[in-house]
């Protein structure tokens, strides 16, 4: 709905943590997708007291639109500091949209080994799926007008917030 404010990102993160707590063991591998997914994964990792070090992915080279959009100027390194083979993983992203980022992340993960399972945690699902991807853990589903995007922002104190960007003149 136009004019409807976005939910509070900190409250969504708390709800996400509460959903995950009963289903996540200390040996679960948590992997954040750069950039917003890493911010969320850092907080989830701490709040869930996971023993396995936090992993991070930059899926830029694995995207199916890489040839069309080219390389982003701020490519990060992927770092999975644990054994993926046979481990239960949770992939963390900020905004779930078409599903293509998640597909790229899974392709990259399989280069590290064959996990026992991969579940998805997302702060916001904005709809618009192009691939059959669904979050197991979800903060909220939000309707966004065509031409608009939801961005996760982090201030200097580490506090998270959601913001809309894009075309503000939607007919």
Mean pLDDT of successive 10-residue stretches along the chain, which has 171 residues = 78 98 95 96 96 95 60 76 97 96 96 97 96 97 91 96 78 40
Domain that includes residue 81, residue range? 9-21+31-164
> Does residue 160 sit within a domain?
yes
* pLDDT at site 10: 98
Q: Are 118 and 93 in contact (CB under 8 A)?
A: no
* pLDDT at site 62: 81
* pLDDT at site 63: 64
> Does residue 4 sit within a domain?
no
Number of compact structural domains in the chain: 1
What span, in angstroms and rounded, lies between the C-alpha atoms of 114 and 45?
22
* pLDDT at site 1: 45
For 81, list phi and psi in degrees, rounded to 5: -90, 30
pTM for this model (two decimals): 0.90
Find the length of the chain.
Answer: 171
């Amino acid at each position: 709905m136009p004019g409807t404010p976005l939910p509070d990102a900190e409250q969504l993160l708390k709800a996400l943590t509460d959903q995950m707590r009963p289903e996540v063991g200390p040996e679960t591998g948590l992997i954040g997708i750069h950039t917003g997914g890493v911010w969320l994964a850092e907080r989830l990792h701490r709040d869930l007291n996971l023993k396995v070090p936090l992993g991070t992915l930059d899926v830029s080279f694995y995207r199916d639109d890489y040839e069309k959009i080219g390389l982003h100027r701020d490519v990060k390194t992927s770092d999975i500091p644990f054994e993926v083979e046979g481990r239960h993983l949770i992939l963390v992203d900020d905004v779930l949209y078409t599903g293509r980022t998640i597909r790229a992340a899974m392709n990259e993960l399989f280069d590290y080994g064959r996990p026992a399972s991969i579940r998805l945690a997302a702060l916001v699902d904005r709809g618009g799926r192009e691939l059959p991807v669904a979050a197991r853990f979800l903060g909220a589903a939000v309707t966004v007008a065509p031409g608009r995007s939801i961005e996760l922002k982090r201030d200097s104190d580490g506090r998270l917030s959601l913001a809309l960007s894009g075309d503000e003149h939607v007919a």
